[in-house]
Each structure stands twice: as structure tokens, then as C-alpha cells.
Structure 1
Amino acid sequence: MLTYKNTSEIEPLESILGQKRAIDAMEIGLKIDNPAYNIYLAGESGTGKTTYAIKALKKYASQKSAHKDWCYVYNFEHPREPSVIGLEKGLGKVFKKDIEKLIETLLDELKDTFESEDFEIGKNQLIDDYEIQKDALLKKIKKYGEEKGFKLKNSKVGMVFIPIKSEDKDDDDSYEDSEEFYKVKRELENMAIQVVYKIRDVEDAAKEALLELEEEVAKFVIDPYIQSLTEKYEEYDKVKIYLNNMKKNILEYVYLFYMDEDELKDKYDKDHFLKYKVNLFVDNDSDKNNSTAPIIVEMNPNPSNLFGKAEYDYYNGNVKTDFTKLIPGAVHKANGGYLVLYVDQLLRYGLSWDILKRTIQSRKISVDTQTSIKPESIPIDMKVILIGNNYTYNLLYNYDPDFNKYFKIFVDFDDEMDKNECNEEGIARFIALQCNRNNLKHFTYNAVKEVIKLSTKITGDNYKLSTQFNKILEIVVEGDAYATIRGVEYVDKEDIKKAIDERRKRLSRIESKIDESLEKGFTLMETQGRRVGVINGLSVLNMGEYSFGRPSRITVTTSPGSKGIVNIEREVNMSGPIHNKGVLILGGYISENFAQEFPLSINAYICFEQNYGGVDGDSATGAEVYALISSISKIPLKQNIAATGSMNQKGEIQVVGGIVEKVEGFYSTCKRKGLTGNQGVIIPRNNSRNLVLSDEVNEAIENGEFKIYEIDRIEEALEILTDMKFEQIKKITTEKLREFSNIQNKIKE
């Protein structure tokens, strides 16, 4: 390790430690620009995978700048299908302000223009021309009617002609009844109908002329502004189309621009001007460093958070929405960059997972509004990084046929690294980094060495260091707290030991209860003497983040019979499949080594005494076969030696897990019942590198107070447990099994 007095003298660690394979995989995954090469990042919690992923993404994000701003606007051609416009990052906000300013300006200038004297004069001129033509038509028919003796009069039903009575004629009544009278009247009525139609034509022409005048005047006001914006956004065809369609719509509804506000509310849709708004859907200018591609970490990936949604208004029980109420999701925000998701959270929402895969495949995304509006899809260009564990990766790989299509890069973070000078220095530098970052006291050289010992213990391998830096950081923080309590400047070795011991105490309630049961004799356990068919096996109990080992008393009874080896735990459904397999292996070993000349005829019952929580695993098969042979041969086994180790049918001892907890657990039991100097544990020889024991146990071993017996085969363990040669044990056991076979044969006869 580096030579230093405390960690303030060394350079803090800024890189990821012990993950070269994972780093190489991540690098190639980020370099491949292909929509199928998304990344699944796996590893145990606390290995730094998320921290590294964000750091790596920031590096590559700084090299990308193709992300855009996205705006939803009103579709004047298809109102139920809002259009989307992509703009250079930072330009979306400008475009939104430009359109807002345009509408505000037009509202003011059009109102002023249509209320101006010049417009009123032009408008009145058109109306006067209409009135002149109308009067001319009415005068003409009126004059003609008078010439024919009829007077034109307006009534509720329109224009009617009534005869003009002459005072100097007495035959008026007879004239009104004459055929000529009716002929003239019909002629005048037909002429009146024609005049009415002509007046309507004149009115229509006048209205058309007024509209043309309004449009001409409006164009005069609008065109310069539209033209200016068209030139400003010359590179964006969709903006030019939008501005052109907006202009047509404004001209069509130009009267709304100069109408009084109260009148507008009373007679027209109050949301008419909503169509001229811009929904700045994704604004990449909101981030100060907008030259960097977005990195979005979505912690709650439900469909709305991932793929956006539409907000709603309620009017008299009816749901209403529009393009201005469209809200982006994480996918929209990550467009052009990177989307980071935690797979355990993602798979809580099956719909999110399905839509995500479709999005990756189609490379486009819209907003599901669940209403009548259908927003235009946005093209998607992003890389998805899923963070999870190996178990979930295997499930997805094996049971989801689409998974491997879209997540071709597997980044596997290891939970351990080689124990060498480079990595030990890395841990020291990691501590220096955390002290600086979290304002902690710096660590002395000896304190760092103690943390490294803890790191090795976490792995359970003397040649490895843990990469679960969250566990290391916890001890670093707690060590600082105890150094503060002592009032010293630096964290020292005793503070780390204190932190480790206190953490163990906080989590060891169940362990203490079991120890109390042993001391009071409630749990039967012997650590001295010899017993036939009884042995102390070793097991590990897991209590969340804390695990500890304790001996388990295994007993075996045998007699002549044909049932074979009976696993009592299995019979009552308290045994797992791996333990069941282990018990069956015993029969294979016994048959091959002790029953080659006669049929194996035995009833053997194996039981874990005082076991109320079930049992699984095969690490007790070695202990079980020792007790089985002891029961058959009646050769007693030492109770001061516990045994652990998995076995195969050939009698070879295989490595087991939790070896540290098992050894320390039996040592703790012997200590409570009284150390005699001849107590110890039989373990597989290949587990020797895993003996990262506590200082107390190591000291007891060095002083000869506790022993570790390393073996490769069953025969070695039997000799240790009985002080007899295996050939002698085998002879006695074989003869006993022969007796069992003879008895069984007599019973059959």
C-alpha cells in the first residue's frame, strides 16, 4: 500500500475500481450507434454501477448535440391531430415567444386598423354604392308601377302593389275586377320578385366586397410579420407550413381580432385564440448546459411518467383537452440522449415495458391522450440503460423473446476484485474521496488497513476485496462518528473496530436469543464427549443484511429394513430440494463403499434436532454421512468437533458457503459452554482461502485453543472424529450392514 500517515495525504479516487470487464462492455455499448444496442447493467447493490453509469453517460453526452426542442401546435388542416415541430435546441422557447408576440401584435394592429378613419371611409363607400344601386332598382320599379296605376308599398310579406284610385273616375271598382287589372298586377309582382333577387345579388356583392376589403387590409397588416417569421425559420419546412396555415386562418376569422372582448365572449368560442398558442413540449434550453445531450433517470416509470400524458378540463361532466395540455414523459425528454431506468421498477408496470419495446422498435413516440385528439408522433433517437440484477436479466433473456433484440449489451458488475496492492490503494483513495466529499475526518493508515480487512471479510475470500462500496462507506461514516465521540483528529483502527462491533450488536438480537437458549439448556448441544449417531453440523442463519452461524445437532438412527435412508425433514415438508438431493447421495456412497457383496437392507432416519424453520442446502451431507456410519457401526463421534462440507457419491468433500459464519458460530458456542483446547471444525480443504476469521478466532487458533481440520475426503473426517483408521471403521460398518441384510432375508423367508 501507499505510505502515508492519513488519507488527506493521498489523491482521492475518481474512477471506478475493480470493474474493468464491465467498463469495457459499457464503453462499447455507448460507442455503437444502433437502436438495438441498448444496455442492461447488472450487479449487486452498492457496487457503484449507477454512479459509474451516470459518469460514463455524462462523458458521452458531452460529445452529442443532436437533441432538439419539440413543440406541439394546432393543426389547421386536421384539428384533431396536433402537429409537432422539431427545432434546434434553445430555439423552441424563441419560437413560442415569436408566435405569442405575433398574435399580440396582430390583435392590437388589426383592431386599430379596422377602427381607423380610412377603413371606415372605404367601408362606407362600399355601403353607399350598395344603397345607390338598391335605390335605383326600387325607384325604377316604383316608377313603372305608377305608370301602370299601382303604388309600391312594403309589407310584412315583402313588396306589394296596390291600385291608385282616381278621384275623377267612378268605375274604379269595375276596373279592379277586370282581366287587365290582374294582368298588370301579375306583371308588377313578377318584376318585384326579380328586383328582390337583384337586391340580394347586390347585397352579396357588397358583402363580398367588404370581405375582400377586410382581407386586403388584413393582409397589408399580417403579411410583413408572417414573412419576417418565415424568413427567420427558413430552414424549418414545418414552421413555414404552420405559418402559412395560421395566416389563412387569421384571415378567415379576422373579424374576431377587432371584435369587442365582451361581444367575443358572448357570441364566439372563448378558446378560439387557443389555436394560435405553442406548446413548448420539450425545452432543452431549460438546462444551462444545453450543449450536452440529455440524461434522464426516471425513478417511477409508470406509463404517464415515461410516455407523457394529457391534462384534462371538466365541463358539465364532459372531459375536454387540447394540444396545449400535452405533457412530455421521460422518453420525450431523453430524446437525443440517454434514458436510465431501474428494471425492478419498470417491470412493475407491464404496459410501460411493452410500450418501451415498441418505441425502441418503431423509433417514434406520441402521447396517448385516451381522447379524440391524436398528436403527431415524434421521431426518437436515444439509448436506454436498464439497471438491475443478474437474476432479472436471466429471466428477461429466457422468457421475453424481444429482450435480446433491443438490449444487446450486457454490463456485468462484479461484487469482488483481486486483493492486490493496486486495489488496496484504490480503497484507501476511495476513503479519501468520501472524507472530502462528506466532510468526514480523514483515516489513519491503520484505520484504512482495518477497512481493507473488512472488505476481505465481506467477500469471504482471503484473496479478494469487495466492490460493494456502500457497505464500506457505511463503516467509514460510522467510524467517523466514533472518532468524533472520542474527540480525536483522525479516524483510527479502534474506531473502525468499534463501528464493526456496534453494527453487529445492533443486528444480533436473534443471535443473542439463540445463545441464551444454548446457555439455559433449552437447545440441546454438547461440545464435549462422544455420542453414537450424533454430530454437530453447522448452519448459517440469514437475518436481512446480517448472517451468523450456529451448530445444528444431527441425529441418525438405524435398523434392519428396506426403507433405505429416510430424511425426516422431507417427510414433513421441511426440507428443500437441494437437501433432499444431498440425502440421496448418502445412499450412493454407502452402497459403493459398504454393500458390494450383499443387498443394502437398512432403515435409517436422519433428523436435524430442534429445527422448526426448515432446512435446505447440501453443506451438511458430510456431517450426515459421519453420523450415519456411526449409527450403523456403533462407533461414537467426538462432540467437540463440528463438521461442514458437501460430499459427492465418491466420498469427495466439496466447498460450501458461509464458512466464516459456521466456524465463528461453533467457536462462539464452545466459548459459551467452555473452551477445552480440543474443540474445532472440520471443513473442506478448498474452503481454506475463505477463512477470513475475526481476530479473536484467529488468536484462539494460533494459541491452540481452537482447531481447523481441512479434509478432502469422507475417510479423513471419520478418522478425526473417531480416532480410528478408516479400514477398521469400514470393516465394522460392513459387517453390521451384512447382519442387517441377513436379518432382512430371514424376515422375507
Structure 2
Amino acid sequence: MLKYNNTSEIKELECILGQERAIEAMEIGLKIDNPSYNIYIAGDSGTGKTTYALNALKNYASNKSSHKDWCYVNNFECSREPIVIELERGMGKVFQKDIEKLIETLLDELRDTFESEDFELSKNQLLEDYDIEKEALLKKIKKYGEEKGFKLKNSKVGMVFVPIKEKEEEYNKDDEESEAEFYKVKRELENMAIQVVYKIRDLEDDAKEAILDLEEEVGKYVVDPHVEALKEKYNEYDKVKTYLDCIRDDILEYIYLFYLDEDELKEKYDRDHFNRYKVNLFVDNGNEKLNSSAPVVVEINPSPSNLFGKAEYDYLNGNFKTDFTKILPGAVHKANGGYLVLYVDQLLRYALSWDMLKRTMQSGMISVDTQTAIKPENMPLNMKIILIGSNYMYNLLYSYDADFSKYFKIFVDFDNEMDKSEYNEDGIVKFIAHQCNKNNLKHFTYDAVQEVIKFSTRLSGDKSKLSTQFNKVMEIIIEGNAYSKIRDTEYIEREDVKKAIQERRKRLNRIESKMDESLDKGFTLIETEGSKVGVINGLSVLNMGEYSFGRPSRITVTTSPGNGGIVNIEREVNMSGPIHSKGVLILGGYLSENFAQEFPLSLNAYICFEQNYGGIDGDSASGAELYALLSALSEVPIKQNIAATGSINQKGDIQVVGGITEKIEGFYYTCKKKGLNNEQGVIIPRNNSRNLILDDEVNEAISDGKFHIYTADRIEEAVEILTGVKFEEIRDKVKEKLHKFSKIQRPAKL
């Protein structure tokens, strides 16, 4: 092992401890470039799965360069369906500025061009030609009218002919034939006037068309060189070239807007018209410090809009208005070309997010969750998704969501314990050194480190293991530093670590203290001396959040003749969990095999956890229940100074149980309160010996013979320890009692 006086002499930890299986799975998952090989990382909180995942992704991202810039631009054919354009990293911002500069340049140059003398001369020449033709038509009809005795005048209703005074008198003097001639000439002139009006309108339309053609030709002369230059610059991007052609055509169509002054433009036309030429730089990967590093995006609130973006809108004149410039990206868009990290418990809070994510993986295309009238074009999916959650959530998704296994084929399972090897113990030393340097904490002495390692072993619940819940270890490091400051020592010492552990327990053990108080006052009935028939001290563990502690519980059994079998009183009142109920039913199987081969098993046996008001589950008390049942049937008393734990099977084997350390300590401290007599102890399954990581006081009491731990593999061994009587003798008495019950139940022969 490492040799050191304190952790300041130790090189810091450079890798994660005890997760070789998880690391191998993660490595292969990141190396497989397949859209179905996304990754699910599972493990208990504090095992370092998130920290490791982000570090691993950062390393892989540094060698990946498939991410691009993405822009949304106006679709001039259908503005409701904006077009997405993919560009190399850094080119998005360049493209955005190029288009912005293009429009600014054209505004200036077109305004200057249309205000130039040459353009005005050309335009005036067209208008002059129009005026000449118009005047010629008017002159011709005017002359003809005068020849007929009529004068051409303009009125509100258009051109009208009125008779010249002299001619009018001449017509008035004539007869009816002359009057008819008058009206005939007038109608002829009026029809000619109508024809002239239409010809003038045609001339006006031709003039306008000629001016528009002139503007378009001038516009092309100004616009085309700039557009062609950009097309040459973006020659590798077909979509950009197509878009530039669309911009060019649209500018020429609305070219008159480019030479209006700002006030006139705002007054007469849509003030947002020029927004259609903007570029929405949707995803900009050109601002990365390392352009070769792919994005690693962690989304802690994966709502639909946070994942898949949204479109903002303006409220104008009672209407909601939006366009492609208001489309915002989500985490999926930002992570495209790289890695997206999501926490399962948060993701499944949004059912729509999970469904949209699955559809994205199925289609291979990323949409925008606009929920508005616009439908932006989807972008192709190119990223790996990493889900971080619990094993429980993994099992649920795998079992109940058929799509899950299709797209998350890599399972990275973080263990909550590791072997207690020299390598891993040295790793904990390096971990402590790293945290002390990182968080500016005092360093640990050698003895203090050993106390932390002991704490880690206790967390694992196995002498041969260490816990990988480094968040718990980190808490002791920080709190040990605080107590070292209080004592004003140079380094964190063993005393500081023990104090941190003790005070932490003190902060969390309110319920335990209340139970101790109930025991002191005699409210809770537990005896640690003497012997009783059908009564035994069982051991259980109570979990209060992150804190758990052991408690002895008095188990009583009464028996009588009958056919009710073994009755679990807790189950009858719905206070027994399924595992506990199963353990009680196993007792019947054991009795049937060992005592009911020659006659029917006929008994009523009532088993009860006394003063149990909160329910019970687990099968670790099944052994104690059987011992009490055998005591009740044989009428051989059980020693109250010995508690028992361990589950049994129908063949009489004693099986390992959990929480063995807490159970032993719980009974020890109960005995201490009642008074140690050097005879108290606990029976545990022999295979649970490796799980004993007792605190110093209990270990010392065991070493001094004040408290005892007995191990057993079989029911027979445990019964003899509890009663001091050979099992064969007890077996005979039980058999005799059951035979007696059977006779009582058997109907008499006539």
C-alpha cells in the first residue's frame, strides 16, 4: 500500500474507481457510430456516473468534428416553411454577415443609382416619348372635332366634346335632319374620345412597363455582380446558391422599395419587409474555444420547448405574428453532431418530450416544436443520446416501452461497491488527496484515511468491499475538515473523522432516540434476561431516509389444536408485506416435512410482532419466528438474552439477511441500556460473518466477552444455542405435541 504521512504527499486520482465493467461498456458505446447505439447509464446516486460520463464525453468530443452551423432562411415560395441550411463550423456567422452586408450595400447602391442623372435622363426619355404620343393622339382628335364643329374639353367625367358657338347656332337653325346630323357627329366624336382614352391608358401601361423594365435592367446591373460573387464564395453549398438566386429575384421584384427613403417606406409599406432577407443563425458552433470539439449538451429541464426549440411571436394589432427569424433552437439542435445528456427522471416528467425524442430517433430528423403556423424544415439527426437514471427506471422502460430497447442498446451499469483491494484502497487515498486540493481543504493523516476507508467498508456492508458512493465519502471529508478547524489542527486526524461520523448519526437519529426513550420508560417491552416459552427477541432494521438503525422486536407465538395452520397476525390486519408473509408460510413447509410425515398436521399457531404499529416486511425474522414456534410447541423456554436474525428455507437452512451490522448494534445498545451481564448476544447466519463492520464500542465489548455473536448454518444449531437443550429432545417434544393435536382434531370412531 501507499506510504505517506498525510495526503498532501499523494498524487491525485486520475480515473474513476471500481467501475471497470461500466467503463468498458461506455467505451464501446461511444465507439459504435450507429443511431441505435445510444447509451443508458444506471447506478446509485453518488457513484460518480455523471462526473465520469461528462469527462468521457468531453474526451471523445475533442476528437469528433462532425458538428456544423445551421441557419434558417426565408422560403420565398412559402414563407410558412422556412428553409434550413447546413454550413461548416464558423461559416454560419460569416454567411449571416454576408447577407446582411449584401442588403445594406444594395440599399445604398440602388438608391444612388436610381437617384443618378443617367437614370433620370433615361426615365424622362421614356416619359417624354409617352407624352409625345399622348399629345399626338389628343391633337388629332381635337383637330377632327373642330372640323366637325366641336371643341374638346376635360371634365370630371373625362374628355367631352361641346359644339363651337357658331356651329351650334348653325345646327339650331336647321331642321330635324340637321339636328340628327348634330347628334350623329357628337356620338362619333364621343366614341373616338373613348378609343383615345383607352389608347392613352395603353400608352401609360407601356410607359410604366418600360420604366419597370428599365429599373429591372438597372437593378440587375447593380444586384447581379454582388449575388454572383457570393455564389462563387459559397460554391460548395447548393442550398446557399439556390437561396441567393431567390433573394436576387425577390429584390428585383420589389426593387422600388430599395430607393424609397425610410420615412416613405415606413408610411406606405410593411416596415418588416426587409426581415425576409435576414439569416437566422440557428446553431452557431463557430464560437467554441476548440472548434474541433463536438458539443456536449446537458439539459436538466427537458421540456418540449427546451429540447426541440420554439418560435417566439409578437402581439400586433390584436394578432400574434411570427416568422423564421424568431425560431429558437433546443438542446437537441445544439447537441447535433455531438452528445446530448438527459436525466431520465426529469425527461419522463414530460411525456411529450419522450415521445418527440423517440420520433426523432425513428425518423432521423430533428423538428422544431413551434406550435405555431410556421413549419420549419427539419434537420438531419447526427448525435448520440446519453440517458442517466436508476436501474429501476431502466427496467421499467425496457419492460414497458417497446421502442426503448431499439434505440438504447448500450447499458452502462455503475456498481455501488468494489473489492477491498490494495489498489482500490490506494484509490480512495488519491480521491481524498484530489478533493482536498480541489476544495482547498486540510489534508488527511494516515490514521484519518484509514477511518474513512472503514466508513466506506461499512457503507458497503461487506468486509471485503468498499462503497463507490463517493458522495457519502465526500460528506465525511468536508465535515471532518470542519471539525479539524474547530480543534485548530494542521491536518484532519482520526478524531475529526470519527467526530464527523458520530455527529452525522446524531443529526439523523431522532426517531432512534425516541425509541430508546420509550425503552427506558418501559413503554416498549423487551427483556434481555431470563427465559420464556414462545417468546424471542427478533431483530429488524428501520430505514429513515439515508439513516438506518437496528431494533429488537419481541416475537410471540401461541399454539392450540385446530386446522387454521400458522396464522400471521400482521398479515391478517394488512400490516405484513409479501416477503414477510412468504417467510411465515415457509414455516408450515418446514413443520410438514419434519413433523407431519406420520400423521396430519393439525394446529393453530398465532405469530405476532408485539408493539408493531407501522407494518413489517422482509423474511429475516422467519428464523426467529420458527424458534419461537418450536419453543411454544415443545414448551422449552428461550433465553431472552440472545436475539436472533436470519431467514430460513423449508429444509431448515439459515440464509443470509441484510442490515446485519445495524441489527447487532441495535441489540447491543438495548442490552447496554437494560444492563450488560456478559451473557447477551446475537445469533446470525454463518455466511453473514463477512458483513460485520461493527463500531469500536461493540467490537471492544465482544473482545472483552461482554457481548457475543453466534453463527449458525442450520435451525438445529440455533435452537440449541437459544434453549441450551439438544435439538433431538426438542424435536421429540414438538412431535409429541403435534401428534396430540392431531388426535384431538381426528373424529372419534363409532
TM range (shorter): over 0.9
- Structure 2: which 5+ runs fail to align? none
State whether structure 2 residue 152 is matched by structure 1 residue 155: no
Q: Distance in 2 between matches of 1:366 and 1:107?
A: 35
Give the secondary structure class of the aligned counterpart of 2:166: coil
Instruction: Read off the aligned partner of 1:76 and give its amino acid letter.
Output: F
Q: Distance in 1 between matches of 2:140 and 2:72?
A: 60
Deviation at 1:170, TM superposition (A): 4.9
Q: Distance in 2 between matches of 1:513 and 1:372?
A: 63
Q: Distance in 2 between matches of 1:169 and 1:589?
A: 144
Give the secondary structure class of the aligned counterpart of 1:426: helix
Question: Contact 2:360–2:367 at 8 Å: present in 1 too?
Answer: no
Question: Contact 1:222–1:247 at 8 Å: present in 2 too?
Answer: yes
Summarize the Cα distance change of 1:701–1:167 in structure 2 as closer, same or farther, 3 Å threshold: closer
Q: Which residue in the other structure is 2:333 paired with? A: 332
Deviation at 1:309, TM superposition (A): 0.7
Q: Distance in 2 between matches of 1:482 and 1:725?
A: 54
Q: Which residue in the other structure is 1:727 paired with? A: 728
- Structure 1: which 5+ runs fail to align? none
Question: Contact 1:165–1:172 at 8 Å: present in 2 too?
Answer: no
Q: Distance in 2 between matches of 1:550 and 1:372?
A: 65
Q: Distance in 2 between matches of 1:177 and 1:347?
A: 100
Summarize the Cα distance change of 1:109–1:167 in structure 2 as closer, same or farther, 3 Å threshold: closer
Q: Distance in 1 between matches of 2:601 and 2:189?
A: 134
Question: Contact 1:47–1:413 at 8 Å: present in 2 too?
Answer: yes
Instruction: Read off the aligned partner of 1:516 and give its amino acid letter.
Output: E
Instruction: Read off the aligned partner of 1:21 and give its amino acid letter.
Output: R
Question: Contact 2:344–2:389 at 8 Å: present in 1 too?
Answer: yes
**1:308-319 map, 5 Å:** 308-319=309-320
Question: Contact 1:340–1:386 at 8 Å: present in 2 too?
Answer: yes
Residues 186-226 of structure 1: per-residue CA shift (max 9 Å, x gap): 33233222222221111111101111111122222222221
Give the secondary structure class of the aligned counterpart of 1:279: strand
Deviation at 1:149, TM superposition (A): 2.3
Q: Which residue in the other structure is 2:744 paired with? A: 743
Residues 599-623 of structure 1: per-residue CA shift (max 9 Å, x gap): 1111111000000000111000000
Question: Contact 1:295–1:339 at 8 Å: present in 2 too?
Answer: yes
Q: Distance in 1 between matches of 2:172 and 2:642?
A: 149
State whether structure 2 residue 637 is matched by structure 1 residue 646: no
TM-score of the superposed pair, with normalisation by structure 2: 0.98
TM-score of the superposed pair, with normalisation by structure 1: 0.98
Q: Distance in 1 between matches of 2:65 and 2:51?
A: 23
Q: Which residue in the other structure is 1:473 paired with? A: 474
Summarize the Cα distance change of 1:199–1:460 in structure 2 as closer, same or farther, 3 Å threshold: same
Q: Which residue in the other structure is 2:75 paired with? A: 75
Instruction: Read off the aligned partner of 2:365 and give its amino acid letter.
Output: K
Q: Distance in 2 between matches of 1:17 and 1:276?
A: 55
**1:184-223 map, 5 Å:** 184-223=185-224
Q: Distance in 1 between matches of 2:478 and 2:90?
A: 43
Runs of 4+ residues over 6 Å off in structure 1: none
Q: Which residue in the other structure is 1:114 paired with? A: 114
Question: Contact 2:633–2:734 at 8 Å: present in 1 too?
Answer: yes
**1:432-443 map, 5 Å:** 432-443=433-444
Deviation at 1:692, TM superposition (A): 1.0
**1:511-522 map, 5 Å:** 511-522=512-523
Q: Distance in 1 between matches of 2:196 and 2:210?
A: 20
**Fraction of identical pairs, as percent:** 75
Q: Which residue in the other structure is 1:699 paired with? A: 700
Question: Contact 1:368–1:374 at 8 Å: present in 2 too?
Answer: no
Q: Which residue in the other structure is 2:502 paired with? A: 501
Residues 115-161 of structure 1: per-residue CA shift (max 9 Å, x gap): 22222222222111111110011111111222222222222222222
Give the secondary structure class of the aligned counterpart of 1:166: helix
Question: Contact 2:171–2:178 at 8 Å: present in 1 too?
Answer: no
Q: Distance in 2 between matches of 1:737 and 1:748?
A: 20
Deviation at 1:167, TM superposition (A): 7.4
State whether structure 2 residue 41 is matched by structure 1 residue 41: yes
Give the secondary structure class of the aligned counterpart of 1:518: helix
Q: Which residue in the other structure is 1:576 paired with? A: 577
Residues 256-311 of structure 1: per-residue CA shift (max 9 Å, x gap): 12213222222211211111111111111233223200000000001010011111
Summarize the Cα distance change of 1:170–1:562 in structure 2 as closer, same or farther, 3 Å threshold: closer
Instruction: Read off the aligned partner of 2:109 and give its amino acid letter.
Output: E
State whether structure 2 residue 410 is matched by structure 1 residue 412: no
Question: Contact 1:537–1:620 at 8 Å: present in 2 too?
Answer: yes
Alignment length, in residue pairs? 749
Q: Distance in 2 between matches of 1:26 and 1:634?
A: 61
Instruction: Read off the aligned partner of 2:675 and give its amino acid letter.
Output: G
My pick for the range that moved more, 539-548 or 178-187, is 178-187
Q: Which residue in the other structure is 1:392 paired with? A: 393
Summarize the Cα distance change of 1:505–1:170 in structure 2 as closer, same or farther, 3 Å threshold: closer
Q: Distance in 2 between matches of 1:169 and 1:198?
A: 33
Summarize the Cα distance change of 1:745–1:481 in structure 2 as closer, same or farther, 3 Å threshold: same
Q: Which residue in the other structure is 1:593 paired with? A: 594
Q: Which residue in the other structure is 2:346 paired with? A: 345
**1:541-552 map, 5 Å:** 541-552=542-553
Question: Contact 1:166–1:172 at 8 Å: present in 2 too?
Answer: no
Q: Which residue in the other structure is 2:26 paired with? A: 26
Q: Distance in 2 between matches of 1:685 and 1:558?
A: 30
Q: Which residue in the other structure is 2:618 paired with? A: 617
Q: Distance in 1 between matches of 2:385 and 2:536?
A: 55
Q: Distance in 1 between matches of 2:329 and 2:171?
A: 90
Q: Distance in 2 between matches of 1:7 and 1:359?
A: 49
Q: Distance in 2 between matches of 1:109 and 1:165?
A: 59
Q: Which residue in the other structure is 2:537 paired with? A: 536
Summarize the Cα distance change of 1:143–1:624 in structure 2 as closer, same or farther, 3 Å threshold: same
Q: Distance in 2 between matches of 1:744 and 1:718?
A: 28
Instruction: Read off the aligned partner of 2:323 and give its amino acid letter.
Output: D
Q: Which residue in the other structure is 1:562 paired with? A: 563
Deviation at 1:748, TM superposition (A): 9.8
Q: Which residue in the other structure is 1:259 paired with? A: 260
Summarize the Cα distance change of 1:170–1:338 in structure 2 as closer, same or farther, 3 Å threshold: closer
Q: Distance in 2 between matches of 1:107 and 1:747?
A: 118
Give the secondary structure class of the aligned counterpart of 1:476: helix
Instruction: Read off the aligned partner of 1:60 and give its amino acid letter.
Output: Y
State whether structure 2 residue 223 is matched by structure 1 residue 237: no
Summarize the Cα distance change of 1:601–1:171 in structure 2 as closer, same or farther, 3 Å threshold: closer
